[in-house]
Amino acid sequence: MCLLAVLYRLVPESPILVAANREEYYDRPSQPPTIQSGKPRMLCGMDQRAGGTWLGVNQHGMFVGICTRRVPGGADTVGLRNRGLVAREVLRCGSARSGIDKAMDELVTHRYEPFNMIICDSESGWVVYNNAEQNEVKPLEDGLNIISSQNLNDPMDERVQLAHRLLTLQNLDSPVKFLAVASKVFARNGTPTSRASMVIRGQDWGTISSTLIALSPKPRDAIFQYAAGSPDEAKYEDYSPMLRDILSRGLREARSKVKA
């Protein structure tokens, strides 16, 4: 299912701020965030069973995050491509606009498991709904955008609404404030007065990792933190040097093209 929050273009020093919890089967093997080979460089975790990813950033400063989408009556996923593969393909693009084109090409060419996907850079942002049978693209609004298994900011999703309320109790006007608050919000368990919980624990399936990201115009200010487990138990580790490395590479290559 997963839970993904993007604070988009409200904080000038970090136009893209992300908090995400990933839910998956406990026995499904995955690789923590690493810099992937090829161009453009991208930093993302990898599903070792299907080869896709659930979330990542590339050297052009483009973010991609994907969630499972719930469809009425369930969905027969036999023969459908793993949703993480389309996220990986989109991360190979140079901008969010070209990423949307790539996503639509993929959905015309292949049938994927139902998903919701956010694609954004500092220039444009988009959300893609794939219901297996039909697709829809909408622009990402400036401000706080939260998505899980239904539409963006779904008023009927208790977890989405709780996350929205907790992330708007104070003015998150800096990346440090956003990440500090989001790290607590996304580690929140259910309370007697609220059935919603940011952390999910089932018998075979639940929250298996959490990610916090701040993308900034200056690569040296970018932040990438990753908890290899439920964030109420696992500590966020700093992967920022790897993110700064690929963003610096992207900036150098862009400057070289301008000079050429």
Q: What is the CATH number of the domain that holds 236?
A: 3.60.60.10
Strands (E), the chain: 3-8, 16-25, 30-36, 42-47, 55-58, 63-68, 115-120, 125-130, 135-139, 143-147, 205-215, 223-227, 237-238
Q: What is the pLDDT of residue 74?
A: 63
Question: Is residue 117 within 8 Å of 125, Cβ to Cβ?
Answer: no
pLDDT tens digit sequence for 34-52: 999 999 999 999 999 999 9
Number of domains composing the chain? 1
For the question of whether the overall pTM of this predicted structure is more than 0.85, the answer is: yes
CB hemisphere CA count around 162 (13 angstroms): 20
**DSSP 8-state secondary structure symbol assigned to residue 256:** H
Question: What mean pLDDT comes out for the span 223-241?
Answer: 97
**Sorting pLDDT into bands at 50, 70 and 90, what band is 73?**
low
Question: What mean pLDDT comes out for the span 92-117?
Answer: 96
Give bridge partners of residue 126 from the DSSP assignment.
119, 139
Question: Is residue 122 within 8 Å of 67, Cβ to Cβ?
Answer: no
Encoding tokens for residue 247?
A: 């963003």
Reduced to 3 states (helix: H, G, I; strand: E, B; else coil), residue 68 is: strand
pLDDT tens digit sequence for 147-193: 999 999 999 999 999 999 999 999 999 999 999 999 999 999 876 65
Neighbours of 20 (CB within 10 A): 24
Question: What mean pLDDT comes out for the span 193-197?
Answer: 72
Question: What mean pLDDT comes out for the span 184-209?
Answer: 87
Q: Domain containing 8: what range?
A: 3-259
Reduced to 3 states (helix: H, G, I; strand: E, B; else coil), residue 245 is: helix
**Sorting pLDDT into bands at 50, 70 and 90, what band is 194?**
low
**Can you tell me the distance from the alpha carbon of 147 to that of 165, in angstroms, rounded to the nearest whole number?**
14
Question: What mean pLDDT comes out for the span 63-78?
Answer: 83
